[in-house]
Chains A and B, each alone.
Chain A
Amino acid sequence: MSDDMSGDPQVTPRASGGRAPDVFRPGGWVPMRSYRDDETVDFVIVGTGAGGGTLACKLAEYGFSVVALDAGPYFRPLEDFASDESEQTKLYWTDDRISDGANPLQLGSNNSGKAVGGSTVHFAMVSLRFRPEWFKSRTLLGYGADWPIDWREMWSYYTEVEQALKISGPITYPWGPKRPRYPYRAHPLNAAARVLARGCEALGISWTETPLATLSAPRGLAHPCVYRGFCVAGCSTNAKQSALVTWIPRALAAGAEIRDLAMVGRIEVDDRDLVTGVHYHRNGGWHFQRARNVVVAGYAIETPRLLLNSATGRHRDGLANSSGLVGRNLMTQSNQAVWGLMDDEIRSYKGPPSLAITEHWNYADKGKDFFGGYAYMSQGPLPQLWANTLAQARGLWGARLVEEMTNYNHVAGLKIVGEMLPQERNRVTLADEVDQYGLRIPRVTYSWCDNDRRLIDHSLAFMTRALQAAGAKDIWTQDDDTCHLNGTARMGDDPRSSVVDADCRSWDIPNLWICDGSVFPTVGGVNPSLTIQAIACRTADRIRAMARRGELTGQRAERTRRAVHATSASA
């Protein structure tokens, strides 16, 4: 076997010496271009998840020199992932953080990732498009904030990502404008999904197979899904189309360098208000990678944390923060559920956890007493998660918990991904404590607003009816759970009310970019990964276009018209 097998990927970096792990071949390697720290690369990207991984691939394919750093390990899914929920918590970002507010977020499993590929390594693969109106929710629907991007443009980037990930989806999608056929067919429904379908049919609303980023047919060296059910604990067959097995291999082939176990602690900015590179911790010491552009893609907590931790005398409130909005408007998504017992065996853990979905309440505007929308999906909790849920939500312990666990095979549940409204008071700030790298840790403050509560109440009442209609008994609600994180560096048309523009370029520092869920002005009622990747594809196209026009280095084009030497893409 390969020489890295004895080494712990969480201790010793794997991507070094001109090679990176080949995620498709046990013990295999692929060649990797390597840059010296003092070589000024076109782009250094902080984070390799849905935002950073996608952007690294696209920019490298467009000919830019790219170094992408990730604080997490470079896993080999075929070898490193066990069918063991406890072992697989290694995929989560569990560094110290402080969580407070009226509704403090539970941080870890379903809102973070610490690995090359980010949280896509353990995401639930649900790949949904935004409802078009959400890109103008302030103007059209009366809440939140407008995006500076037109939905039709996003529609074509969604298509690009769906093709890149070979999304398995239904032949026709019941909601929204026409979309191209999903590249792969939907997976077979499990019994839990059929419970959702029966409930919807009884209540007269549409349902469909969930578009999922897991293969329903072979793709290259990746196998089709074997319905093992450990999706959110890391897919060990490579059926899951995570950034780790899609964008990252493409990025490497196109000449990008990936550095694992590389924690970026600070972005350096010079007296001309341009960034010059990043300080990162790897192999026990601090290094400095020079770059013409820096992209922050650390997700909605680490991105503002890095910007705030990079404050200087000239940028006292952190980088890109003249609006004061860095860290603000943090949005999670409500993730409440209704659970019940079915007479038949359900074995909901078989197959991907969310095989069926209804977006009815994302697209229906009548019958709501709240702004925003929610989707709900069938569920497939693994046993440890299920025991935790019973213990936390219902206070079961000891003999009562053991007894309830004997019903595990008969449990069916419906769970929402609900839109929460942006509020400036929900934010990421810096605490005084420092972490293992000596960096100030983030404080995450979160409180629901009345609209959030009304949406949750509506969903719980509706899903209870749906579950009853499907024949469930002993129904109970799990009314405190959240998932996904967005906001904290929103994009917009106005530098006073946003952190970046539509191209994910910061208003304050023209060679500093932010490309992840942080830039979302609103979150919608769908899982954000597809939108993050679509934004990254769009950003790459915009960067290439700007490079060709010579607008990339230095000041924004509209401020000074001096001819600037373009980066290597145009060479």
Chain B
Amino acid sequence: MSNDTDWLVGAGLALSAIAATAMLQPRGQTKVTQVPASLPRRAGPHPRASVRAARRLNRAAGLLAVSVLADSSVEHYRGSFKNKAMYTPLAVSALTLAMSAHGTADRRPWAHRLRDGSYLLAAATGLAGTGFHVYNVTKKVGGFSWQNLFYGAPLGAPMAILLSGLLGFCSERVRDTSRAQRPHVFGLPAARTIAAVTAAGLLGTSGEAGLLHFRGAFHNPFMAVPVTLPPIGAALLFNAAARDPDDDQNRAHPLTRAWMWLLAAMGFVGVGFHAYGVSRNMGGWRNWSQNILAGPPLPAPPSFTGLALAGLAALGLMREHPDA
């Protein structure tokens, strides 16, 4: 193994350790707000609405984790796990998936320490992974060139696990503040923060699809769909996030909700298109063991579904909490 690789493995482990430490950190401060169920109710909607939104966010984070688990498994297997750090996203996304399943089932109105820790770990993995991928692209001859952007480690891919972690973390904050006047994340209104994060995620994921579909020369006209629908969805979400919270008339955002359902469906239909793309390689599905690696990535499109579900959770919370 080269020195470079050693260094990278070390950096990966260090970042993982930081994330793991964050997971084990006692969180005394939060507990105060967790326990007292008998505190006088403040004005505002029922905390169940917040928990429902939080569980939806867990589900969205979980779906993103599924996408990452499958995608990084296939792609890093294709890369022969040449660097041991390439196992990290598999382990972390599997953990995130388990935690998200737990969160989706959990109806309690407070954050869970393990979930919180694993979501932070996922976010840290996303950041570290982006660093690894940038390093992989720039160290190749030609540096930051189209060739290396097309065929080096995909720069946008680790963002999916980062988004999964962020959404999961936001989910825990929404739960944690479900009894507050308004659910919030780091003091920001939760629903609108999550909508903005999701919108940014949609733009990034769409950019990734754009880059790789450009590599495929948009040879099929449907390849333009994931670079046109999600940016519109992102704009709608940003718009929803920026709306005046006192404007009771416009809290339902029917068009934005419909668009999110459209994107959720697009993510699933995309798998079908990618399956067709696999079939167009030499040998088709009969040669699946090679063509799944050579063809378009089957697990990639559902990340749009995950983000769309997060957008729906944010919109739901927004509808029920005027100032969330």
Among A14-22, A217-225, A320-328, A479-487, the stretch that binds chain B is A217-225
Known: A185-B150, A201-B141, A226-B294. A237 touches B216 (CB 8 A): no
Residue A491 at the chain B interface, CB threshold 8 Å: no
B219–A188 CB distance below 8 A: no
B281–A218 CB distance below 8 A: yes
Query: Closest residue to B279 on the A side, CB-wise?
Result: A218
Enumerate chain A residues within 8 angstroms of B219, measured Cβ to Cβ.
Answer: 184, 217-219
- What is the 8 Å Cβ interface bit string for chain A, positions 165-197, against chain B (1 contact, 0 not)? 010001100000000000111101100001001
Enumerate chain A residues within 8 angstroms of B141, measured Cβ to Cβ.
Answer: 194, 197-198, 201
Within 8 A of B (CB), among A147-176: 166, 170-171
Residue A553 at the chain B interface, CB threshold 8 Å: no
A171–B146 CB distance below 8 A: yes
Residue B215 at the chain A interface, CB threshold 8 Å: yes
A223–B280 CB distance below 8 A: yes
A218–B277 CB distance below 8 A: yes
Enumerate chain A residues within 8 angstroms of B150, measured Cβ to Cβ.
Answer: 185-186, 188
Residue A503 at the chain B interface, CB threshold 8 Å: no
Residue A358 at the chain B interface, CB threshold 8 Å: no
Complex formed: what's the CA distance from A209 to B215 in Å?
A: 14
Enumerate chain B residues within 8 angstroms of A170, measured Cβ to Cβ.
Answer: 146-147
A217–B147 CB distance below 8 A: no
A226–B142 CB distance below 8 A: no
Residue B151 at the chain A interface, CB threshold 8 Å: yes
A224–B217 CB distance below 8 A: no
- What is the 8 Å Cβ interface bit string for chain B, positions 293-324, against chain A (1 contact, 0 not)? 01000000000000000000000000000000
Enumerate chain B residues within 8 angstroms of A209, measured Cβ to Cβ.
Answer: 147
- Min C-beta distance of A195 to chain B, whole Å: 9
- What is the 8 Å Cβ interface bit string for chain B, positions 252-287, against chain A (1 contact, 0 not)? 000000000000000000000000010011100000
Enumerate chain A residues within 8 angstroms of B147, measured Cβ to Cβ.
Answer: 170, 186, 188-189, 209
A226–B281 CB distance below 8 A: yes
Enumerate chain B residues within 8 angstroms of A183, measured Cβ to Cβ.
Answer: 217
Residue B77 at the chain A interface, CB threshold 8 Å: no
Enumerate chain A residues within 8 angstroms of B87, measured Cβ to Cβ.
Answer: none
- Chain B interface residue number, banded: 10 to 19
Complex formed: what's the CA distance from A398 to B44 in Å?
A: 90
Known: A171-B146, A189-B147. A217 touches B294 (CB 8 A): no
Checking A185, A186, A194, A226 against B282 with a beta-carbon cut-off of 8 angstroms, the contacting residue is A226
Known: A170-B146, A186-B147, A209-B147. A223 touches B281 (CB 8 A): yes
Residue A429 at the chain B interface, CB threshold 8 Å: no
Within 8 A of B (CB), among A206-262: 209, 216-219, 223-224, 226, 237, 239
Query: Closest residue to A225 on the B side, CB-wise?
Result: B282
Query: Closest residue to B218 on the A side, CB-wise?
Result: A217
Q: Identify whether the interface residues of A are mostly helix, strand, loop, or mixed.
A: loop
Enumerate chain B residues within 8 angstroms of A194, measured Cβ to Cβ.
Answer: 140-141
Query: Closest residue to A181 on the B side, CB-wise?
Result: B217
A185–B216 CB distance below 8 A: yes
Known: A197-B142, A209-B147, A226-B294. A185 touches B217 (CB 8 A): yes
Known: A185-B150, A198-B141, A201-B141. A223 touches B282 (CB 8 A): yes
Enumerate chain B residues within 8 angstroms of A189, measured Cβ to Cβ.
Answer: 142, 147, 151
Enumerate chain A residues within 8 angstroms of B294, measured Cβ to Cβ.
Answer: 224, 226
- Min C-beta distance of B312 to chain A, whole Å: 34
Residue B81 at the chain A interface, CB threshold 8 Å: no
Enumerate chain A residues within 8 angstroms of B217, measured Cβ to Cβ.
Answer: 166, 183-185, 216-217
Checking A185, A198, A219 against B214 with a beta-carbon cut-off of 8 angstroms, the contacting residue is A185
Complex formed: what's the CA distance from A224 to B217 in Å?
A: 12
Enumerate chain A residues within 8 angstroms of B215, measured Cβ to Cβ.
Answer: 185, 216-217
Specify which of B140, B215, B282 lies most central, judged by the most chain A CB atoms within 10 Å of its CB. Answer: B282
Complex formed: what's the CA distance from A194 to B219 in Å?
A: 27
B146–A224 CB distance below 8 A: no
- Min C-beta distance of A519 to chain B, whole Å: 33
Complex formed: what's the CA distance from A224 to B142 in Å?
A: 24
Complex formed: what's the CA distance from A239 to B215 in Å?
A: 16
- Min C-beta distance of A180 to chain B, whole Å: 13
Complex formed: what's the CA distance from A216 to B141 in Å?
A: 21
- Min C-beta distance of A228 to chain B, whole Å: 9
Enumerate chain B residues within 8 angstroms of A197, measured Cβ to Cβ.
Answer: 141-142
Enumerate chain B residues within 8 angstroms of A223, measured Cβ to Cβ.
Answer: 280-282
Query: Closest residue to A199 on the B side, CB-wise?
Result: B141
- Min C-beta distance of A378 to chain B, whole Å: 12
Query: Closest residue to A185 on the B side, CB-wise?
Result: B215
- Min C-beta distance of B82 to chain A, whole Å: 13
Enumerate chain B residues within 8 angstroms of A186, measured Cβ to Cβ.
Answer: 146-147, 150
- Min C-beta distance of A47 to chain B, whole Å: 30
Query: Closest residue to A209 on the B side, CB-wise?
Result: B147
Query: Closest residue to B294 on the A side, CB-wise?
Result: A226
Checking A171, A188, A198, A217 against B216 with a beta-carbon cut-off of 8 angstroms, the contacting residue is A217
Enumerate chain B residues within 8 angstroms of A226, measured Cβ to Cβ.
Answer: 281-282, 290, 294
Enumerate chain A residues within 8 angstroms of B281, measured Cβ to Cβ.
Answer: 218, 223-224, 226
- Min C-beta distance of B222 to chain A, whole Å: 13
- Min C-beta distance of B296 to chain A, whole Å: 10
Enumerate chain A residues within 8 angstroms of B142, measured Cβ to Cβ.
Answer: 189, 197
Enumerate chain B residues within 8 angstroms of A239, measured Cβ to Cβ.
Answer: 282
Enumerate chain A residues within 8 angstroms of B151, measured Cβ to Cβ.
Answer: 188-189
Not counting A188-B147, A217-B216, A218-B277, a sample of 10 additional A-B residue pairs whose C-beta atoms are within 8 angstroms of each other reads A166-B217, A170-B147, A183-B217, A186-B147, A189-B142, A197-B142, A198-B141, A201-B141, A209-B147, A237-B282
Some 10 contacts from A to B, beta carbons below 8 A apart, are A183-B217, A186-B147, A188-B150, A188-B151, A194-B140, A209-B147, A216-B215, A217-B215, A226-B282, A226-B290
Interface set of A (CB-CB < 8 Å, partner B): 166, 170-171, 183-186, 188-189, 194, 197-198, 201, 209, 216-219, 223-224, 226, 237, 239
- The 10 A-B pairs of least Cβ separation, nearest first, read A218-B280, A188-B151, A223-B282, A197-B141, A217-B219, A217-B216, A184-B217, A237-B282, A171-B146, A226-B282
Interface set of B (CB-CB < 8 Å, partner A): 140-142, 146-147, 150-151, 214-217, 219-220, 277, 280-282, 290, 294
